[in-house]
Each structure stands twice: as structure tokens, then as C-alpha cells.
A and B are shown apart, each in its own frame.
Chain A
């Protein structure tokens, strides 16, 4: 009798555990399906190529799309070289030196700093101290520092997958350390580095709070024409629409979210394909 009881207890617990995995996934699926239904009616070429408007039906996301594109460009151009450089130092040069340990601990700490704090850093350093103003350049720089730890961590993982023998073979052929890194290690790790880079940029694409803090606008009826231009980004336009009480604007927000999610999905797919290619090669 007691045995029977225990078996049911065990089955019940197992069911509860499985349920705990499926419930969050089901909720997410439901939410996404709902948002697609809410926003689908608004999705059109006019929505993608239009400017914000007082009239919800005529509004579009073009300034946000263009702003996000430039932001990612600036972020990538700054964060990738610096992040990859730092990772190469830690993996190939530093190795347990005191400086490397300091940098390492520091990077793992930075990864835990709330993103809104990076906004405050950007506001004080880029917007004010360096005199960039509330510009797209300041926004891009802020996002670059936000994703830097992600780039460093993923690049280090990619560098670690390169077999030690490759480095030794290159050194045995008389290559210097940098020649080995440039000619053997980096090309070999490149798919992994790119995967991490794309994931970092996809994170930057969805960031809202730091951009609000550095003074991005949420209602912009022009396209950025220089690095000093005021700007908006896709998530900020969504924020603007979410904050309005009228239901018509909620539909715009839903449509904007669909666009944002599709872009992120595309970036993640590219990353997955790259990663798959890397694994196939082995």
C-alpha cells in the first residue's frame, strides 16, 4: 500500500516538473501569438516606410528602423574590435597574469551591471563630458559599452575551441605570436566570434532603457543625417506607442513589436547557422 502511494507521489512530482518547463513556454507562445494578431492589421509597406503621426493609422516606424540600423553600425564598429582585442589578450597573452585576472573579474562584474546604469554612464561621459550631445553617436557608444562584456565572453569561448596544436604547429614553423593569432587562431575562431557578435548586436537592438537615459527621442519625424543628429530607435517608438492610452496606438505598438521580433529572429537564425557550420567543420 505504501509503495503504491510513493509511486503516485513520484509521478505527480515528475508531472509538476515537466509542467514547469512547458508553462513558461506556453505563456510566451500565447503572448507572441496574441501580439502578432494585434499587430498584423497594421503591418504594411506604409507602416515600414512611414513616419510617426498623431493619427495611429497613418503612423510608421521608418525613423526607428533607420535609427536602430545606424546605432547597431556604430555599436558594432566600436564594440567588436575592442571586445575581440580584449578577448585575444586574455586568452592568448594574459593567461593568469595579475592584470588578466583583474580584467577578467572586471568583465564578469560589468556583465551584471543593470543596463539603465550604462545609460547614466553614457549621459555623463558621452553626452556631457565629451560633448556629443543627445546624438546618435552618443547612443551608439553607450550601447557599445553595454555589449562589450558579451563580445569579450563569447570571443573567449570561440578562441578556446581552437586546438592548442594549431598554435604549436604555427610556432614551430617560425611564426611569431601575432602571426599565429592573425593567420591561424582568428580565422579558425571566426565563425564563433561572428556568432557572438551577432548575438551581442541583437541584444543591443532590443535595448530601450539606456537610450531613453542618454536622451533618445521617442517621436521623430525625420531621419538621422549625421552622427550628431538627434535620433530614435525601434524599441523607443514602441515605448512611445505603448505609453499612449488609445487602443489604436496599442495596435501600432504590437506591429512594431512584430517587426522587432522578426529582426531579432533573423539575426539569431544567422547566428545559429554560423554556429552549425562551425560544428560541421569539426
Chain B
């Protein structure tokens, strides 16, 4: 709002501000505060059940045990197999999405004619709008069987297939946000490089990419956070076997898939199984939140021009 408008608004406010006006403003503030309440609610809910969980299970069991079997009679509560499944599928996704997403961003920002760019960018963003349940079907029914023909010993449920599909899903996140960052690099920098006789590709690698590095970093980490929190693709196609492995050919279980697995069964409240939902949720929240925080910092640094 311009300074002028504020003065006008202020003047009107002093003279004839009715009770209704104030009531409406209070309602609008309440709407905004409800979002703060949501965050508080998430943290409170996860925290409360996590505390309850740790009153029954010790920290050392949670952090040092190498097995996660809370649904068996022989119960183990080591979180690492689930973390491992999440990290593994996310890594596969990033291996697919980072090169494709970055190259696509470079094409859209540096080489494509403007009308081509304006057509292709939204087209790529369609990829992010497809429901994840649909991607899960793709992973289980198309990708895994196709991969099994090439990779002997690939299990029906594995980390590779859903990881690749997840990678395709997060490409637009990387390409769109990186493209924004590349596009924001001042044109004079490119012109200076060309003036010195640099080729376009050299300019991209030596001038534009370094100038946009923190913006691109923010995009990559945001995509990683999305992959960590992605649920249905891995619940459908990665399996339900928590395993401490980095072999992408075997069945694993991610944190999100565990939450879905337990929710599909009829778990009565106040049981230990019920509490594991929230302790896994809390671990997931911490990981995704940390990634978002780093991404936000990088974005800020980019906006500040570094």
C-alpha cells in the first residue's frame, strides 16, 4: 500500500470507524491466527503423543536399535530402518530429478524463445499436479515391471521404481523454481561475458549458474523435502518391510508408508501402536521442516543478491 493510501485510511479511521468495522477486522485477524493455531496444533499433537511414546520406550531403543517391528510380538523400536527407507527413495528421486530439472531450467531460461518457454513451463508444472495415487499406480504397474526386465533380482516392491516416479513428479519443482532463479540473474552479467568472447554455454556455467546458485539450492532442497514427505507412491510401490539397507532393489518401508500401513489397520487409540504413528510423524516433520528451513534461508540469501 502506498503511503498516500495509508494516510487516507488512517484519516477515515479516526473520524468514523464503526463497531462493525472493528468487528470485521477482528474476524479477519482471527482467520489469520487460525493458521498459526494450525502450526501450534501440529507441534502440540505430535509432541504430546511423542512424549507419551517415550514414557514407554527408551531413547536408546529408539535411536540405537536397528530394527523397527512395533506391530510384531517381538517388538523393536529402532527408527533408522524407516529413516533409511525414506532417505533411499528420496535419493533415487533426486538422482532422477536434479539433472533433468536443472537442464530443463537452463533450457527454459537461457535458450528457449519466449513463447516456447511460456508454453513449456506450465506444461511441466502439470507433472506436479497429478495426484500421487496416480503416480503410485504408474510405479507399481508400469515402471517396476519394466525395470524387472532390465534388472534381474528386482523385487516386486522396491525403492527404485517408486523413487524414479517420485523423481519425475518433483522435476517441475526443481525446473520452475530454478528457472525463476536463473531468469532473475541480471542480463548485463550475460552480456559482459559475451562481450569478453565467452560462448553461451560457457556463460551459463561460469556466470549464470554461479550467480543463481543459492536460488537453485533452495529449489533442490524444497524438492527434497517434498520427496521426504511423499506418501502414496512409496506406500503403494515400495513395500512394507522396514530394512536398514541402501539396496534399491529390495522392498523397504518409508516413514510415510508406515503411517499409512498402521492407519489402514484398525489401531485403537492409546495403544503403543497408535503412539508410534505420532513419533514417526514427528520424526518426519522434523526432517521436512529442517529442509524447508534451509531452503527458506537460501532463498532469502538469493533475494538479497548473494
Give me the interface of A with B, judged by CB distance under 8 Å.
Answer: 6, 9-10, 13-14, 16-21, 23-25, 27-28, 31, 34-35, 38, 81-86, 88-90, 92-95, 99-100, 102-103, 106-110, 112-121, 123-125, 128, 145, 148-149, 152, 164, 167-168, 171-172, 174, 176-178, 202-203, 205-209, 212-213, 215, 218, 235, 238-239, 242-243, 250, 253-254, 257, 260-261, 264, 268
B24 within 8 A of A: yes
Nearest B residue to A174 by beta-carbon distance? B12
Q: List 29 A-B contacts (CB under 8 A).
A: A10-B201, A13-B201, A18-B111, A20-B99, A27-B168, A86-B32, A86-B35, A89-B32, A95-B1, A102-B36, A103-B33, A110-B38, A112-B222, A112-B289, A113-B42, A124-B45, A152-B35, A167-B1, A177-B12, A207-B131, A208-B131, A209-B235, A209-B259, A213-B259, A235-B133, A242-B133, A242-B140, A242-B236, A257-B137
**B176 CB to nearest chain A CB (Å):** 12
B152 within 8 A of A: no
Scan residues 198-235 of chain B and give those whose CB is less than 8 A from a CB of chain A.
199-201, 222, 225, 228-232, 235
Whether B131 contacts A260 by the Cβ 8 Å rule is: yes
CB contacts (< 8 Å) of A260 on chain B: these are 131, 133-134
Whether A125 contacts B41 by the Cβ 8 Å rule is: yes
Whether A116 contacts B256 by the Cβ 8 Å rule is: yes
CB contacts (< 8 Å) of B130 on chain A: these are 28, 206, 261
Whether A120 contacts B46 by the Cβ 8 Å rule is: yes
CB contacts (< 8 Å) of A24 on chain B: these are 100, 104, 124, 127, 168, 171-172
- Which of B57-65, B75-83, B187-195, B280-288 is found at the contact surface with chain A? B280-288
How far is A123 from B45 in the complex, measured between Cα atoms in Å?
10
CB contacts (< 8 Å) of B141 on chain A: these are 38, 242, 250, 253-254
CB contacts (< 8 Å) of B260 on chain A: these are 116, 209, 212-213
**B122 CB to nearest chain A CB (Å):** 9
Chain B contact residues (Cβ within 8 angstroms of A): what range? 35 or more
* Chain B 227-264 near chain A by CB (<8 Å), digits 1 or 0: 01111100110000000000000000000100110011
B70 within 8 A of A: no
B115 within 8 A of A: no
A-B residue pairs, 4 tightest by C-beta: A114-B229, A206-B131, A85-B31, A17-B107
CB contacts (< 8 Å) of B277 on chain A: these are 120, 123, 213
**A241 CB to nearest chain B CB (Å):** 9
B296 within 8 A of A: yes
B17 within 8 A of A: yes
How far is A130 from B138 in the complex, measured between Cα atoms in Å?
38
Scan residues 1-53 of chain B and give those whose CB is less than 8 A from a CB of chain A.
1-2, 4-6, 8-9, 12-13, 16-18, 20-21, 24-25, 27-36, 38-39, 41-42, 45-46, 48-49
A106-B296 contact given A89-B32, A100-B32, A114-B228, CB 8 Å threshold: no
Whether B49 contacts A124 by the Cβ 8 Å rule is: yes
B106 within 8 A of A: yes
Most chain B CB neighbours (cut-off 10 Å) among A13, A125, A261: A13
Whether B32 contacts A178 by the Cβ 8 Å rule is: no
How far is A21 from B41 in the complex, measured between Cα atoms in Å?
40
Whether A121 contacts B38 by the Cβ 8 Å rule is: yes
CB contacts (< 8 Å) of B161 on chain A: these are none
How far is A94 from B35 in the complex, measured between Cα atoms in Å?
15
Whether A242 contacts B137 by the Cβ 8 Å rule is: yes
CB contacts (< 8 Å) of B136 on chain A: these are 239, 242
Nearest B residue to A203 by beta-carbon distance? B129
* Chain B 118-156 near chain A by CB (<8 Å), digits 1 or 0: 001001101101111110111011100000000000000
Whether B129 contacts A268 by the Cβ 8 Å rule is: yes
Nearest B residue to A258 by beta-carbon distance? B134
CB contacts (< 8 Å) of B222 on chain A: these are 112
Nearest A residue to B30 by beta-carbon distance? A85
Whether A20 contacts B103 by the Cβ 8 Å rule is: yes
**A263 CB to nearest chain B CB (Å):** 10
Whether A239 contacts B100 by the Cβ 8 Å rule is: no
How far is A230 from B298 in the complex, measured between Cα atoms in Å?
44
How far is A172 from B27 in the complex, measured between Cα atoms in Å?
25
How far is A145 from B172 in the complex, measured between Cα atoms in Å?
24
B269 within 8 A of A: yes
CB contacts (< 8 Å) of B68 on chain A: these are none
A110-B35 contact given A24-B171, A85-B28, A176-B21, CB 8 Å threshold: yes
How far is A178 from B12 in the complex, measured between Cα atoms in Å?
11
Whether B24 contacts A264 by the Cβ 8 Å rule is: no
Nearest A residue to B299 by beta-carbon distance? A108
Whether B127 contacts A28 by the Cβ 8 Å rule is: yes
Contact with A119, one of B18, B263, B285, B296 (Cβ below 8 angstroms): B263
B278 within 8 A of A: yes
How far is A235 from B31 in the complex, measured between Cα atoms in Å?
30
CB contacts (< 8 Å) of B38 on chain A: these are 110, 121, 145, 148
CB contacts (< 8 Å) of A264 on chain B: these are 129, 131
CB contacts (< 8 Å) of B284 on chain A: these are 114, 116-117
Contact with A21, one of B21, B46, B124, B288 (Cβ below 8 angstroms): B124
B292 within 8 A of A: yes
